[in-house]
Structure 1
Amino acid sequence: MRLPFRLGLRGELLWLVAGVMLVVVGLFSALWLHTRRSNEDARQLSAGAVRELAREGLLSRGQTLSSQLADAATNPLYYLDLAKLGELARATLRQPDVVYVIIHDAQGQVLHDGSGDIPAFGQPMSDPMAYEALQAEGPHGQWSEMLLDVASPIRIGGERIGGVRVGLSRENATRREVEVLGPLQARLQAASNEHLAWILTLLAAMFGIAGIALWLLQRRIVQPITELAEAAGRIEQGRYTEVTLHSERQDEIGELVRGFTRMSEAVARHDRDIRRMAYTDSLTGLSNRLAFREALDDRLLTLQASSGELALLFVDLDDFKRVNDTLGHEAGDEVLGQLSVRIRLAVERLGGQGAEIARFGGDEFIVLFLADDIRASSGRLAEALIEEVQRPLILHGRQVFLGASVGITLFPFDAASAGQLLKNADIAMYQAKVAGKGCYRFYSKAMDQAVERRVQLEEELRGAWERGELSLHYQPIYRLADGRPMGAEALCRWEHPRLGVVPPSVFIEVAEQSGLIEALGRHVLVQACQDAATWKQPGMEPPFVSVNISPRQLRSGDLPDVVASALQATGVAPQQLHLELTETAVLGDEAQASALLSRLRATGVKVWLDDFGTGFSGLSHLRRVPVDGVKIDRSFVADVLRDPDDLALTSAIIAMAHSLGITVVAEGIEAEGQYAVLRERGCDQGQGFWLGRPMPANDMRRAFRDASGQ
């Protein structure tokens, strides 16, 4: 039968020594316990004897005082001479340890207690000891926790005419008891400590001898054998560089060590050539996917045994496809080569000893990183990698700007297997993409649920337009000067049969990330143009419809053709169509965006910048990007009545845009005061809940018809 584990020579020696020492410790412990028990018995016997002597002494003294007082008080009590009784009581009270004196008659009524005014005179004794004191036939003592009460009767001719009670404090007796027992207990404790010191000294000596013996066996026999076994394991795993055996010994073990070393060097030479071809990425010189996976598996085995930690950083380049599409694949390869060097240098600069870097495929890199404070260190590394990637690249005499999104997962906190760690890092990287790119995110279990929900939502979104679940609502846009409706913004709504109303902020993001936004954008554009074709305002120019264009639609490059096809199919005049793009979408590639927008404006279509003021552009970009209007972001409009800075910035945008001949639209007007301020500042148009909420196409059509009849 094979044992489930191998004890090993070191373990056997440890067990043997541990067994012997356990027996020795047991014997010494028994001896020590016996000594302590004997000392405790002696202490208890001595304490009992001293305590009994103290009690007997105090009782004898109390009986003497009580008897003497009873004899002296006989005649004064018979003649009820209170003055004499008081004198006798006070004389007794002055005796050491006497707490109280009570002289009473035969019925137990107090006659004197040694005080001046005798407040208890004539009152029966009612304390717990009174009954036995009245029944005493001779000197009788009663004990309480702090007192001794001694009662003696007073008789004349055999007839009891009263009695006396003397109360003595036990405090001095207790103190004397402690004084007597103190030196005895100190001597017993000293003897006990001396015995313990000898026992501990002997135990320490035996442990020292056992430790020296174990150390010698470990150093001379066990350690060399263990090193050989570990070296054999490293050779088996292909970790030849970690085999560093060396020995100056001239015995059999020394010869064995030197033989192992020669064998390891020979095997390593042959293995290096093979691994160089099989495990290196030819483009960047980094490890490839296969090499990294093996390195990760090996590192996890080591860390699981030593309870170590590591971080896995998944680095994905943002918008790398644009480099291949615009500059060619050779330029893309050169970009990957330059960035791989930057990534390697960043890892080395931040203390990446023992780190592994690999090109995982395409524009993806992965870093295995070890550090003490693994979470904080990996966060700093991710920031450094993003910063390195964002620095401009010089390619064929022109600057190329890229970004990177980084996902981080930690071992052993997030997962214990290589496959799960890689999956977690990929999920975290995706969350960094969703967060806006150019950032990093740590993996959390909530991300799994988010990815699952996103995948489910993406599946449901496919075909949602064809199933009639998606529809358009329109929010009217008014001219602020006279309050007349000028047009409306098309807003996509999703009414799912099971999930209910899905917010646009949720499904638009899914559509953008999955690529469904291009097909959805075409449907929205065509439907909006069809609805706008039915909008009429007699005596006025036809109302316009504004449609939001996603950054992905803009990057595709075929937006002018898609718009022209929608206009032709619906018969809407180009002047009735306004396209809304965000600042960040336009400025991501300003040159390409300017060319596309110029083509669109040449057909008569209007172009507006949405959420103006929230990006990184600045007003100066309005001179270089051909737009017809800007929409002031609702965050500025919300605070124009409270924040002077927002009011000043809004006024500056209006003035600058008007100087360039650009229309200004304010979003999010939700109060009459906001409307009044914006109209006063010369804002051209506005929209918001105070002016009108989003409505279906038929309601929007009636709203335009009713407005024309006013």
Structure 2
Amino acid sequence: MAYLFLAIALALSAVLSAAAYFVLITPYDPALLMLATLVGCISLTALILSGVLERQRKTRQQLEQQNEQQNLLLAHKSSALMLLDKYLNIEFINTHHSSLNIIQANNSNNDSLLDIWTANVEEETRLLVRKAVDEKREWRGELRVGDKKKYRYLAATVTPILDDIGELTRVIVCAEDISEHKAIADRLFIREHYNVLTGLPNRQFALRAIQSTINDDNSSSGFILIHIDLDRIRYINDSLGHHVVDKIFVETTERLRRSVSDDQILAHLGADEFLIVLSTENCINEAGILAETILDKCRQPFYVNHHEVTISASLGLCKYPEDGDDSTVLMRRAEAAMFSAKEKGGDRFSFYEEGMSSETERRLEMEKYLRHAIERDEFKLYYQPVINLENNRLRGVEVLLRWQNSALNNPTPDHFIAVAEQSGLIVGIGKWVLEHACQQVMAWTRSGLPALSVAVNISAKQFTDGDIVENVRYALQQSGLPAAQLELEITEGLLINDTPEIRDTFKQLKALGIHLSLDDFGTGYASLSYLKRYPFDSLKIDRSFVSDIDSCGDSVTLTNAIIAMGHSFNMKVIAEGVENLNQRRILREHHCDMVQGFLYSPPIPAEQFVAWAKRYADMQTSQHV
């Protein structure tokens, strides 16, 4: 625009000069000279003025551009900025920043930032900020801005600005919205430290809390841990389903909450395990009273989905510092005391005693080795012959599992089978046994031995948690073993969970053509109704009835009754544990169908079985048996 003014002035000057020279008659006129001089001055002034205006225009344009760029940077900066005077009144705020929407809403009346903080920030935080500003030092922390209905979290830095003599002039607040990050962090913290189902602190939280109490100087008087394990939960889960079990856990949580005070820690360690940490004011006697209260509350029936469910609990107690000075040690020893209560029948509590934890540690170590036993080829199958008493011929074999682990001194089945069932490893182990047993019997058949039946023990957990029907079908297909030669031995413990699902599984197994045997009859919970309800093909008399059959009349009576009962249900009866000829004679006289025991052979590995079978067949031919 300034250059336009200049061009107009120069053009006007040129026109006037030309008119004076060409149009006017007088060659010299002072007025015209003055006019020309004036026009020249005006042109020169216009030239100078236009240059000044142009420079100002460019400067203003640059400032506006810089201001726009700064506003863009401030608006899109990850942090919000506020400039305050020394009284904490707002002088500048990047109003377009999303983190400050709530501040702006609360600042509609141009209130000071301190007024907003007074309404929205905890008093302790406000005092810390005010103190830092008064002391002319920077403060860093977290602010919560907003009301109860809607608020955001800000990570803030408050920096005092000092003049040349060190006096406070202004304050800069830099804040970043961390609401979303904090919400995610809170969810992760809850997920990591709390049980989702019950809302109680989990094992990791409990361990940290216990260790924190130990590190506290005020904990010298000690505290008590109560480890709670609910009994029979596995059976309830197998029979009624995990939805019922989950509701039992929730109800148990409420019952435990009502039993403890606010200063006592209540945690859900996982599955059916809970933990209570009693404060230092509680003595042993009070802990015992609380343990009895908890046992009584767990005995009360649970009403879930029209089911009345009764359970019990096993409690283990230990005391700091007498039983340990570390959270992990204390937790393990409280658990060891709980296992002691459970082994005594449950529905009771036990205090930790020296030596209890060693058994728990042995179980954990055994479970660790069990997890890798199959891949390390440590399992081996042994076979015990089953003899038909009517003709003394070899009728089949029972498969028995042995574990060859030198680090644990080759544990016996009585030890490692229980650990495998408790840990759930029995499902995979049982599948391995089933497949290899079927393959071995077919290998013997191909080598010239007569077709033998093979009896495989199936645990209750393997039956309910594993896909037993599919496992059996796969083992038969893979090995080529006829279904009629496979017999599954099932213990009476499975039958207490008499559900439509279990009965349906029995039907599917029978549809495959296999045989079912009720193992260790008379030692568990079975009743005559089970024998009528389930399609068993054979009944197995436990060795405890056979061991003294040749010296105890009551054992003879019981054994005879079992044989008669089995036959009345059209079942074959097998007696195990036969060790002498007199026992065999009595069983034969009472029409027992089959026997097995050390009289014929102990369990032997597969590579020795063929030789034994041939020797036994030769003895039969020679009529030495």
Report if TM-score (shorter chain) is over 0.5. Answer: yes
Displacement of 1:600 after TM fit?
A: 0.8
Displacement of 1:368 after TM fit?
A: 4.3
Deviates more, 1:406-415 or 1:563-572: 406-415
Displacement of 1:533 after TM fit?
A: 1.3
Q: How many percent of aligned residue pairs carry the same amino acid?
A: 36
Going from structure 1 to structure 2, the CA distance change for 1:496 and 1:309 (only over 3 Å counts) comes to: closer
Alignment of 1:74-473 (within 5 A): 310=224, 312-316=226-230, 318-319=232-233, 323=237, 327=241, 329=243, 331-343=244-256, 357-368=266-277, 385=294, 388-389=297-298, 392-400=301-309, 402=311, 404-429=313-338, 442-473=351-382
Look up the equivalent residue of 1:315 and give its one-letter code. Answer: D
Look up the equivalent residue of 2:542 and give its one-letter code. Answer: D
Say if 2:556 is the partner of 1:647: yes
Aligned position for 1:65: none
Displacement of 1:568 after TM fit?
A: 0.4
Q: Does the CA-based 8 Å contact 1:657-1:663 persist in structure 2?
A: yes
Displacement of 1:385 after TM fit?
A: 4.5
Aligned position for 1:563: 472
Displacement of 1:615 after TM fit?
A: 0.9
Say if 2:604 is the partner of 1:691: no
Going from structure 1 to structure 2, the CA distance change for 1:413 and 1:505 (only over 3 Å counts) comes to: same
Displacement of 1:436 after TM fit?
A: 7.6
Q: Does the CA-based 8 Å contact 2:233-2:272 persist in structure 1?
A: no
Which digits, 9 at most, give the CA deviation of each residue in 1:116-165, with x for residues without a partner? xxxxxxxxxxxxxxxxxxxxxxxxxxxxxxxxxxxxxxxxxxxxxxxxxx
Which digits, 9 at most, give the CA deviation of each residue in 1:286-334, with x for residues without a partner? 787758975996699799655x7745233345436964996564x5443
Q: Does the CA-based 8 Å contact 2:227-2:316 persist in structure 1?
A: yes
Going from structure 1 to structure 2, the CA distance change for 1:676 and 1:549 (only over 3 Å counts) comes to: same
1:627 partner SS: coil
In the aligned structure 1, how far is the partner of 2:514 from the partner of 2:486? 6
In the aligned structure 2, how far is the partner of 1:645 from the partner of 1:557? 40
Going from structure 1 to structure 2, the CA distance change for 1:525 and 1:305 (only over 3 Å counts) comes to: closer
Going from structure 1 to structure 2, the CA distance change for 1:297 and 1:467 (only over 3 Å counts) comes to: closer
Aligned position for 2:454: 545
Aligned position for 2:580: 671
Displacement of 1:434 after TM fit?
A: 7.1
1:578 partner SS: strand
Aligned position for 1:637: 546
In the aligned structure 2, how far is the partner of 1:380 from the partner of 1:637? 46
Going from structure 1 to structure 2, the CA distance change for 1:565 and 1:427 (only over 3 Å counts) comes to: same
In the aligned structure 2, how far is the partner of 1:281 from the partner of 1:526? 39
Say if 2:533 is the partner of 1:533: no
Which digits, 9 at most, give the CA deviation of each residue in 1:48-90, with x for residues without a partner? xxxxxxxxxxxxxxxxxxxxxxxxxxxxxxxxxxxxxxxxxxx
In the aligned structure 2, how far is the partner of 1:640 from the partner of 1:431? 34
The equivalent position to 1:658 in structure 2, one of 567, 575, 586, is 567
Displacement of 1:470 after TM fit?
A: 2.0
2:517 partner SS: strand
Displacement of 1:689 after TM fit?
A: 0.7
Say if 2:528 is the partner of 1:615: no
| TM-score with structure 1 setting the length | 0.52
Going from structure 1 to structure 2, the CA distance change for 1:363 and 1:698 (only over 3 Å counts) comes to: closer
2:607 partner SS: helix
Aligned position for 2:390: 481
Going from structure 1 to structure 2, the CA distance change for 1:283 and 1:578 (only over 3 Å counts) comes to: closer
Displacement of 1:596 after TM fit?
A: 1.5
Going from structure 1 to structure 2, the CA distance change for 1:360 and 1:511 (only over 3 Å counts) comes to: closer
2:601 partner SS: coil
Q: Does the CA-based 8 Å contact 1:296-1:368 persist in structure 2?
A: no
In the aligned structure 1, how far is the partner of 2:541 from the partner of 2:363? 31
Aligned position for 1:69: none
2:440 partner SS: helix
Aligned position for 1:502: 411
Any gaps of 5 or more consecutive residues in structure 1? 1-277
In the aligned structure 1, how far is the partner of 2:194 from the partner of 2:377? 52
Q: How many residue pairs get matched?
A: 428
Going from structure 1 to structure 2, the CA distance change for 1:607 and 1:301 (only over 3 Å counts) comes to: same
2:598 partner SS: coil
2:461 partner SS: helix
Which digits, 9 at most, give the CA deviation of each residue in 1:640-692, with x for residues without a partner? 23333322222211111111112211111112221111111221111111122
Displacement of 1:584 after TM fit?
A: 0.8
Deviates more, 1:664-673 or 1:502-511: 502-511
Going from structure 1 to structure 2, the CA distance change for 1:402 and 1:562 (only over 3 Å counts) comes to: farther
In the aligned structure 2, how far is the partner of 1:301 from the partner of 1:705? 74
Going from structure 1 to structure 2, the CA distance change for 1:406 and 1:606 (only over 3 Å counts) comes to: farther
1:534 partner SS: helix
2:316 partner SS: strand
The equivalent position to 1:627 in structure 2, one of 536, 548, 573, is 536
Aligned position for 1:554: 463
Calculate the aligned-residue CA RMSD, in Å: 4.2
Deviates more, 1:561-570 or 1:352-361: 352-361
2:317 partner SS: strand
1:312 partner SS: strand
Which digits, 9 at most, give the CA deviation of each residue in 1:161-204, with x for residues without a partner? xxxxxxxxxxxxxxxxxxxxxxxxxxxxxxxxxxxxxxxxxxxx
Going from structure 1 to structure 2, the CA distance change for 1:296 and 1:562 (only over 3 Å counts) comes to: same
1:489 partner SS: strand
Q: Does the CA-based 8 Å contact 1:405-1:439 persist in structure 2?
A: yes
In the aligned structure 2, how far is the partner of 1:593 from the partner of 1:440? 33
Aligned position for 1:90: none
Q: Does the CA-based 8 Å contact 2:495-2:530 persist in structure 1?
A: no
Alignment of 1:578-589 (within 5 A): 578-589=487-498
Deviates more, 1:486-495 or 1:419-428: 419-428
Displacement of 1:514 after TM fit?
A: 2.9
Displacement of 1:547 after TM fit?
A: 0.7
